[in-house]
Amino acid sequence: MRTVPVFDARRQLGNIGKELIKAIDKVMSGGRFILGENVLEFEEKFASYLGVKYAVGVASGTDALSLSLTAAGVSSGDEVIMPANSYPTAFSVTTIGAIPKLVDVNPETFNIDPDKIEKAISGKTKAIIAVHLYGQAADLNKIAPHALKHGLKIIEDCAQAHGAQIRFGHNGWRRTGTVGDAGCYSFYPTKNLSCLGDGGMVVTNNTDIYRKVRLLRMYGEEKRYKSTVLGRNSRLDELQAAVLLVKLKYLNRWNERRREIASLYKVKIQNAKLNKRIVVPGEAEYARHVYHLYAVRSKKRDKLKSYLERKGIGTGIHYPKPIHLQPSFKYLGYKKGDFPESERACLEELSLPCFPELTDGEVEYVCSEINKFFPEGKSND
């Protein structure tokens, strides 16, 4: 039986493995593994790629968010507005003692609904996290006015949006992570730009945030063994930075391939336009999607997932339960029905295989099996 994985890092490693081994060997022979020349070079090159002044390598995307929030003045007891469906993001808020203030999402983009932000703002609100979910930018054109009106910081969660773009105001196209007060990236192995473990990055044009994050990532040290603020240990290591330096030059090419795959899905999945039994993702008019995940929707999600698995096709669910229905977040006081679009998205979303090394033939096979499950002109309700 033919098999199509939802993701396979080995294919990418097979293509650039020799370059990676050479870069890793160089680090090993140099003997420095923490905050050395590779981290510094990657920070500089990633900042240049995005078009920002500063970049700070940290241990993970979650740390990037929590350190940015702290550097922006968010502390224990403060409220942080964020979408109700972005499960991993919530832990960056709670780890610093802040309170996630949840907002429902736009059903077309899966991103936070800007029209529902105003109602969520209170006297305790200090920041808004704009999550660019699945590779498509949140609508910062509509989010920014709320932040400006109430004096709130905007932290961009770009963990799934490496290289994505947004047309912002009269400033033309910009990379995600460059519009808010800080942008936060994850380099987890499945990301569009990934390392061989955990890694993260904070980017900003704000000198004060930059300096604070640099202090916070290493015990709050102004210089070695002189701690001026309470920090933590959150450092991007040299081996991961060396890997990321190799991969960065391929990012645009890989993103274009993801877009090609998305276009093929849109054309080949026949029922997406006919009867909405399966809904393919669109691209917002203000955004340039990089399809970290190709997230379709269907009321028959679970049956479709099981069917595709029987056909050797891997899929994923991102995410199966919204934040407010997670047992660990019961203390927030929300109940089922409070965020209906987020709840519906969690019941309907299915991630199809989408990574640069996927072949056209594999995509067409996935589409053919989806079309068999949803035969044209017939109902399988």
**Cis peptide bond N-terminal to 319, omega within 30:** yes
DSSP 8-state code for residue 3:
-
Q: Is 259 exposed, middle or buried (0-12, 13-18, 19+ CB in 10 A)?
A: middle
Residue type, 9: A
Measure the CA–CA gap between 328 and 260, rounded to whole angstroms.
39
Which residues are 79's β-sheet partners? 99, 125
The answer to whether residues 33 and 237 touch, using CB atoms and an 8 Å cutoff, is yes
Q: Which residue in 108, 65, 105, 64 sits closest to 85, CA to CA?
A: 105
Give the residue carrying structure tokens 């203030």.
Answer: 101
153, 191, 212, 311: the active-site residue: 191
Which residues are 100's β-sheet partners? 80
- Residue 45 annotated as catalytic: no
DSSP letters spanning 272-316: HHHT-SSB-----TTEE---SSEEEE-TTHHHHHHHHHHTTB--B
Residues marked active site are found at: 191
